[in-house]
Amino acid sequence: MAPIPNLSPTIQLIKAYNTLYVKPDNTTNPPSPSLPNYSNTNGPVIKRWTFPGGTVLGPNKIDENEVGVTHFISMPDPEVIENCIGFHWYDLMNRIKHSHNNEERFPPYHLIYAYLIENSRIIPIFERVMLKYMTGEDLGHASPFTAHWIRNTQSLFYKELNIPGFRPLLSSLLPSLDANRRNAYYRLFGLELSHGNQDNSPVPFVKSAHANLNFVPLLENLLREIWQGIINQKTPAEPIQPTSWPWLILLDC
């Protein structure tokens, strides 16, 4: 089975799992028994999951490939995935290289990727699929893998959580994760999602008066200049028309 790129977020979570739950080969240097507390590094915040049979450490390492990803996302206990998310997010916040992550690089998390994914309507599509499985037999009977995946997805992303540092906060002031994300997209990129609710009704959200509305035209101009530079490089027989460096400098402002 071909490996998945090391910067895949799911692979990073599998690395965290192997550090947190799998018995290490070198027992003289075992992993930390718990995550540091986010406000007090001397205290635990997430404990190990006790596997069936009473053992504290899991028996098997999960491989970093497609089979391993399938096994991980259908884990029988969603709290295990939750712990791995917390462990990995603690790494990101504090730039720590645990034994599961010996590289300087981390996955290139950026809000623009979240926008591109969500703008494809993948979230409402998956919501409809999960709801059909949970409320009827229109799609047939879910396999054990599908049932575990639906339960984990619902537990991780569709319940109210308040875990410091790596989970969003829902409150009477910010009651909607959907509206919160749309507000962030608008503030950082000046962009709105192309769809509304499941019934296509608009999602109300706060549009900040100080939003980065120049992001799209600035990006388009930058890409246009880059493309012009590529064309100039590939046509050496003709008179070279250099890319407007002063204009590129202005774009950087």
Residue 203 domain flag = no
171 with 234, same domain? no
Q: How many domains does the chain have?
A: 3
Residue 106 domain flag = no
Beta bridge partners of 34: 47
pLDDT tens by residue, 71-124: 888 888 887 888 888 878 777 777 665 544 455 556 668 899 999 999 999 999
44 with 89, same domain? yes
Mean pLDDT score across all residues of the chain: 75
64 with 133, same domain? no
pLDDT tens by residue, 141-169: 999 899 999 999 988 888 766 555 556 66
Residue 37 domain flag = yes
Residue 126 domain flag = yes
Residue 195 domain flag = no
244 with 185, same domain? no
83 with 134, same domain? no
pLDDT at 9 over 60: yes
Residue 82 domain flag = yes
130 with 62, same domain? no
What per-residue confidence (pLDDT) applies to 158? Answer: 83
Q: Which helix (H) or strand (E) holds 133?
A: helix 122-135
26 with 83, same domain? yes
Of the residues 189, 206, 225, the one at which a domain ends: 189
46 with 117, same domain? no
Which structural domain, as residue segments, surrounds residue 24? 9-94
pLDDT tens by residue, 180-239: 999 999 999 999 999 998 888 999 999 999 999 999 999 998 888 888 777 777 666 555
Structure tokens at 22: 């799998």
31 with 79, same domain? yes
What per-residue confidence (pLDDT) applies to 106? Answer: 61
18 with 57, same domain? yes
Calculate Rg over the CA atoms of the chain.
Answer: 23
pLDDT at 27 over 60: no
Q: 0.75 exceeded by the pTM? A: no
Of the residues 94, 124, 158, the one at which a domain ends: 94
115 with 90, same domain? no
DSSP string, 26-95: -TTSPPPSEEEPSS-TTSEEEEPP--TTS-SSBSSPPPSBHHHHHHHHT-S-HHHHHHHHHHHHHHHHHT
Residue 208 domain flag = no
88 with 121, same domain? no
Residue 4 domain flag = no
